[in-house]
Amino acid sequence: MWALWRKETFALLYSFTAYLVWGLFLVGTGLFVWVFAGGVVQTGAAEMEAFFSVAPWFLLFLAPALTMRSFAEEFRTGSYELLATAPLSRWEIVLGKYLAVATVLAFALVPTGVFYLSIAWLAQPQWQVDHGAIQGAYIGLFGLGLALAALGIWASTLTTHTIVAFLLGLFWGFVFLIGLEFASELPVGRFLQELLAQLSLMEHYRSVSRGVVDLRDVTYFFSVIAGGLGLAHFQLSRRHP
C-alpha cells in the first residue's frame, strides 16, 4: 500500500493539476485575507476569519480536482486491471490512492501558515491572537478536506470520465458541505431538521473552528471519510468482482 501511496503522491506532485489548484487556493484565499472586503487591508483587523470563511469553498473544488483521475483514468486506460492483479487488496488500493490525495491536501494548507504568522505579527499587541480558535479552525479545515477527498475518491470509481468524476465529486461535496444545511431549514419537522443539520460538514467545521475539538465532530469527520471510502470499495467490488 505504501508503494502505491508513494507512486500516487509523486504522480500528483508532478501533475499540472496539483499546482493549478494549489495556486488558485493560495492566491484566492490570500486575496480574501488581505485585499477583498473583510480582509486585513480593508478592516485593519488582524484576524483570519475571512480565510476560514472562504477556504471550505475552495476545498470544495480542490478536492474533486485532485481525486477525479484516481480511478476514472485507470478505468479509461485499462490500467486498473493491472493494478488489480498486484498483491494488494481493494482496501489497500483505495487507501493508497486516498492517502496520496490527503498528502497533497496537507501540502496545500501548509503555506497558508504564512497568513497565520503574518497576522499574529501584525496584531496589537504583537502575537496576541486567538491561537486556539485558529488552530482548531485548521484542524476542522483539514478534516473537511479529508471528507471531501473521500467523497471524491468514491465519485472517481463511478465513471470512466475524469470530468464526470470531478462533477460528481463536486455535487456530493456540495450536498454534504451546504446542501444538508439548506435542507435543514425546510419545514420538515424539528427532529429531521436537527438530523440534517448534524449531517452537514459545515456544521461540524464551524463547531471545531471555535477552538474546541469535540469528539462528536471528530467522529463525524471519520464517519464521512469511512463512508466515502467504503462506497469506493463497494463500487470497485461491483466493477471487478
Residue 129 is predicted with a pLDDT of 76
How high is the pLDDT of residue 44? Answer: 56
Q: Which three cell numbers stand for residue 121?
A: 505579527
Residues of the chain with confidence (pLDDT) below 70? 37-46, 241
- pLDDT of res. 39: 63
The whole-number pLDDT of residue 150 equals 97
Predicted confidence at residue 153, as pLDDT, reads: 97
* Burial of 126 (C-beta count, 10 Å sphere; 0-12/13-18/19+): exposed
pLDDT at 92: 94
Which pLDDT score, from 0 to 100, does residue 166 have? 97
**What is the reported pLDDT for 87?**
86
pLDDT tens readout for residues 176-214: 999 998 888 888 788 888 888 889 999 999 888 877 778
Task: Report pTM.
Answer: 0.92
Q: What is the pLDDT of residue 132?
A: 79
pLDDT at 45: 63
pLDDT at position 43, please? Answer: 62
Kindly provide the b/e burial profile for residues 138-161, where b requires at least 16 CB atoms within 10 angstroms of the residue's own CB.
Answer: bbbbbbbbbbbbbbbbbbbbbbbe
pLDDT at 71: 95
- Burial environment of residue 95 by CB neighbours within 10 A (0 to 12, 13 to 18, 19 or more): buried
pLDDT of residue 14: 86
Residue 185 pLDDT: 85
Closest CA to 176 of 225, 108, 236, 103: 225
